[in-house]
A and B are shown apart, each in its own frame.
Chain A
């Protein structure tokens, strides 16, 4: 059963993670996006250089000059998936403006600095033998998708992108529906990415419905599914693949330390122990997760 093949990972021993650093990153661009989304482009050369798709940065929402004063709100750092890197020094993150931290960060101005630790965690493993990657993405889970596509399209890999969102507003930047026909994004199409959209609001369909249509043709040695989105979707994708082909999933959970120390963000794994989303993840092979015990 190839679905359980041991992931070749960077491992979780020794320090905050290979290449992780704490930096002061200038906000190069701050842009409000449709819905409750906001995009920040940060200047962080070392993170841009070392980051792998699926990894995250841990961001202090307030001014780095005010670290000596305890804030009454947003005391903890906030984890954000790296949405995309712009070599040589740009790191892009996508936030939801809804929460306290997101609101503070969205209010910070271009030219200001942020205190950022990263890149953290284990990202997607893009194996040498990968020939076809089916990326299943739903909701805010879309945040790390651009970086994943960046990495995949740089390799001789056929990429299928299946996007589901509760409504059009939930489909943030870069991967957008263009017109009633839907389903194209010029930049990605030019790279040969095969894109399909499902809208629960409009058609009552989910990303997993799109996957169901393609499942029959999957299962060759070089095939793999990479899923990003709500847990229910990830679990369904894992079930659908049923061990016929490897599935990687990106999980989210509340964090405090971001480096594996506090054990806040644990999820049950098939080896019986808990694994940390921040350090062992956020990307796991579906076969590593005990889906029955995982909180929905």
Chain B
């Protein structure tokens, strides 16, 4: 084994490598069990939970495939905080790697309450979802406003000593200013980015394909746009940035790292290849060895302009 240093630190959370699984795609973790060695990855961010269970958006339909991507409007359907802590988290912890919870709410206090309850749990960190485009209240309505974003981060910071990550939406004019506000409010890292607001229309029915009307675009289609957002955020903050948005292979992941991401998350690609994260990790390793780079940290933000 080579002496490659793949470790990444996000606040007090140490990851053995920079590859994560993005929230939402992976459910609570146990659904994918057996399809890949997820314990090999740096961290697994599980599906966003809210204090109370939520039914999410109306069914039929919630997901639409688009060119090199997909649009989803699940609407934060989740089991709620209690069931997550009692049933889902213990199952996810069996993977033996960092489990990062993702939380959402209608008000900053809801986030704080979730964070407080998770503080005593075995989650390695907490991601703050202020960027879901598919709910009427909360979600992206916080993330499009620097002050509101900071208010949520600050409330969470007050409720937990766990590493906290603010997950941002790209659907803003100046993502860097929002990242700066989140960092100042106490975020240990910035996740960049959530999905791009999108719409698919059924031309026969002449109505939106998704029951919710609109959704969020993910997959390779958004990758170049997400890389730019990561670059903009990384230029503006000192804390680590977790890059995501259409990562399919190691080369994609390396783009994010070169743009300034300390870690990367794989999302939509898991639907095609449940081992996409492992494949990306393997490719990053090969790249570092091939280029005689000893530590992945040396690559972070090293894009030459």
Contacts and interface: CB of A to CB of B under 8 A. Distances in A.
Q: Do A and B bind each other?
A: yes
B113 to A, nearest CB: 23
B74 A69 contact: no
A76 B70 contact: yes
A263 B74 contact: yes
A76 B34 contact: no
Interface size class of A (residues with CB under 8 A): 35 or more
A255 B279 CA distance: 23
A15 B30 contact: yes
A70 B59 CA distance: 28
A75 B59 contact: no
Contact of A261 (B26, B65, B220): B26
Contacts of B24: 262
A76 B70 CA distance: 8
Interface stretch (B122-130, B228-236, B267-275): B267-275
A266 B220 contact: no
Contacts of A67: 272-273, 276, 279
A253 B26 contact: no
A257 B268 CA distance: 9
Contacts, number: 132
Contacts of B248: 68-70
Interface in B1-50: 24-28, 30-35, 47
A256 B35 contact: no
Interface stretch (A181-189, A199-207, A216-224, A267-275): A267-275
Nearest to B279: A68
Given A15-B34, A260-B31, A274-B59, A117 B68 contact: no
Contact of B35 (A22, A76, A267): A22
B70 A256 contact: yes
Nearest to A60: B272
B47 A75 contact: no
B171 interface: no
Nearest to B269: A70
A263 B272 contact: no
A72 interface: yes
Interface in A55-94: 60, 67-77
B61 A254 contact: yes
Given A72-B68, A117-B35, A262 B59 contact: no
B243 interface: no
A260 to B, nearest CB: 5
Give the dominant DSSP class at B's interface.
loop
A38 B54 CA distance: 40
B77 A274 contact: yes
Contacts of A257: 25, 27, 31-32, 270-271
A273 B59 CA distance: 11
Interface in B254-284: 268-276, 279, 283
Given A75-B70, A117-B274, A267 B59 contact: yes
B297 interface: no
B224 to A, nearest CB: 12
Nearest to B64: A254
A73 B275 CA distance: 20
Contacts of B275: 22
Contacts of B68: 70-73, 75
A274 to B, nearest CB: 6
A118 B214 CA distance: 32
Interface string A98-118: 000000000000000001010
B139 to A, nearest CB: 16
A251 B234 CA distance: 46
Contact of A266 (B35, B62, B65): B62
Interface of B: 24-28, 30-35, 47, 55-56, 58-65, 67-70, 72, 74, 77, 91, 211, 219-220, 246, 248-249, 268-276, 279, 283
12 contacts: A15-B30, A16-B31, A20-B34, A22-B274, A22-B275, A70-B246, A259-B27, A259-B31, A261-B47, A263-B77, A264-B72, A273-B55
**Closest CB pairs A-B (n = 4):** A261-B27, A295-B60, A15-B33, A264-B63
Given A15-B32, A22-B274, A254-B63, 14 more contacts: A13-B30, A16-B31, A20-B35, A70-B248, A75-B272, A76-B70, A76-B272, A261-B28, A262-B25, A262-B74, A263-B62, A264-B74, A266-B62, A267-B60
